[in-house]
Amino acid sequence: KQEVTQIPAALSVPEGENLVLNCSFTDSAIYNLQWFRQDPGKGLTSLLLIQSSQREQTSGRLNASLDKSSGRSTLYIAASQPGDSATYLCAVTRAGSYQLTFGKGTKLSVIP
Amino acid sequence: GAGVSQSPRYKVAKRGQDVALRCDPISGHVSLFWYQQALGQGPEFLTYFQNEAQLDKSGLPSDRFFAERPEGSVSTLKIQRTQQEDSAVYLCASSLYAGWDTDTQYFGPGTRLTVL
């Protein structure tokens, strides 16, 4: 059974700092990996999707990398802003499955 | 355009009551998913619809949970004889295409169910 782990569970940084969130998964036979953002009382918003054949994806200040063989992904956030405060979740799918398997998330607080 | 909507946003039920949670996906989206998110946890898959067909219900925790999407658009998740362990946020998501190699899932705001 696929297990997804996110470290750290919570992170507090001053505004302007660059930061890295980590995600690991136990079964490397994934089809893709996604990073989501969840704000309190709201649903999930997809940030980046990396296909298993890709190494990284970038969107604005966000960069996600994938090392499928080692079962790891990182989300890099540059020049953090208070508006980046949210819970960040990573999720994987495997070929032939409809299911997203999520980690528990990292709660990020960016202090002004 | 409108995103995924869910109703009610909050539901309080007494143990043993039946509840029905509604999801309105983005118009034209073929795939619809239900997830359960307990406090402090990531969402867990419950079930998947492709149009009106329920192709995967492997995540439903017990036979008290039932989902339907009779016309291939709106979906309802029903929980019979609610228990305290059913307390969670129930998330609905939809995506444009069918099949397992689907594209990005768009999530609704969720229904927070509290069972007393």
List per-residue pLDDT tens for chain B, 116 residues long.
589 999 999 999 999 999 999 999 999 999 999 999 999 999 999 999 999 999 999 999 999 999 999 999 999 999 999 999 999 999 999 999 876 665 788 999 999 999 99
The A-side interface with B (CB below 8 A) comprises: 4, 31, 34, 36, 41-46, 49, 89, 91, 93, 95-105
Q: Which long-range contacts (CB under 8 A, 24 or more apart) does B76-80 make?
A: B76/B20, B76/B21, B76/B22, B76/B23, B77/B20, B77/B21, B77/B23, B77/B34, B77/B46, B77/B47, B78/B18, B78/B19, B78/B20, B78/B21, B79/B18, B79/B19, B79/B21, B79/B113, B80/B18
Among the partner residues B40, B41, B45, nearest to A100 by beta-carbon distance: B45
DSSP conformation letters of B14-36 = -TT--EEEEEEPPTT--EEEEEE
Q: What is the pLDDT of residues A56-82, one digit of tens each?
A: 999 999 999 999 999 999 999 999 999
| Nearest CB neighbour to A98, from listed B43, B44, B56 | B56
CA distance B60 to B45: 8
B106 and A46 in contact by Cβ < 8 A?
A: yes
Contact A43, B37 (CB under 8 A): no
The pLDDT value recorded for residue B100 is 65
Q: What is the pLDDT of residue A89?
A: 97
Q: Is the pLDDT of residue A96 over 80?
A: no
Q: List the one residue out of B61, B3, B15 whose CA is nearest residue B34.
A: B61
pLDDT of residue B15: 97
Judged by CB atoms closer than 8 Å, whether chains meet at A89 and B44 is answered as no
Q: Do residues A95 and A33 make contact, with C-beta atoms less than 8 angstroms apart?
A: no
Across the interface, which of A42, A93, A104 has its CB nearest the CB of B40? A104
Give the pLDDT confidence score for residue B97 in this predicted structure.
83
Find the chain B residues whose C-beta atoms sit closer than 8 A to any C-beta of A. Answer: 4, 31, 33, 35, 40-45, 48, 55-56, 58-59, 91, 93, 100-102, 104-110
Name the DSSP letter for residue B70. T
What per-residue confidence (pLDDT) applies to B99? Answer: 67
- Give the SS3 label for residue B45: strand
Closest C-alpha among A34, A41, A37, A31 to residue A64: A34
Chain B environment of A49 (Cβ under 8 Å)? 104
* Confidence (pLDDT) at A41: 80
Residue A94 predicted with pLDDT over 90? no
Q: What is the residue type of B22?
A: R
Task: Spell out the residues 6+ positions from residue B1 whose beta carbon is closer than 8 angstroms to its own.
Answer: B26, B27
pLDDT at B104: 82
The answer to whether the CB atoms of A41 and B101 lie below 8 A apart is no
Q: Are strands A106-111 and A10-14 parallel, antiparallel or unpaired?
A: parallel
Q: What whole-number distance in Å separates Cα of residue A93 and Cα of residue A49? A: 11
Measured in angstroms, the CA of A20 and the nearest CA of chain B are apart by: 19
**Closest CA–CA distance from residue B92 to any residue of chain A (Å):** 9
Using the predicted structure, report yes or no on whether residue A85 has a pLDDT greater than 70: yes
Whether A95 shows a pLDDT value over 70: the answer reads yes
Q: Are the Cβ atoms of B104 and A89 closer than 8 angstroms?
A: no
pLDDT of residue A22: 97
- pLDDT score at A31: 86
Nearest chain A alpha carbon to B103: A49
pLDDT tens for residues A3-55?
A: 999 999 999 999 999 999 999 999 988 889 999 999 988 889 999 999 888 99
Q: Is the dihedral of CA B107, B110, B23, B55 positive or negative?
A: positive
Chain A hits for B7, CB-CB cut-off 8 Å, are: none
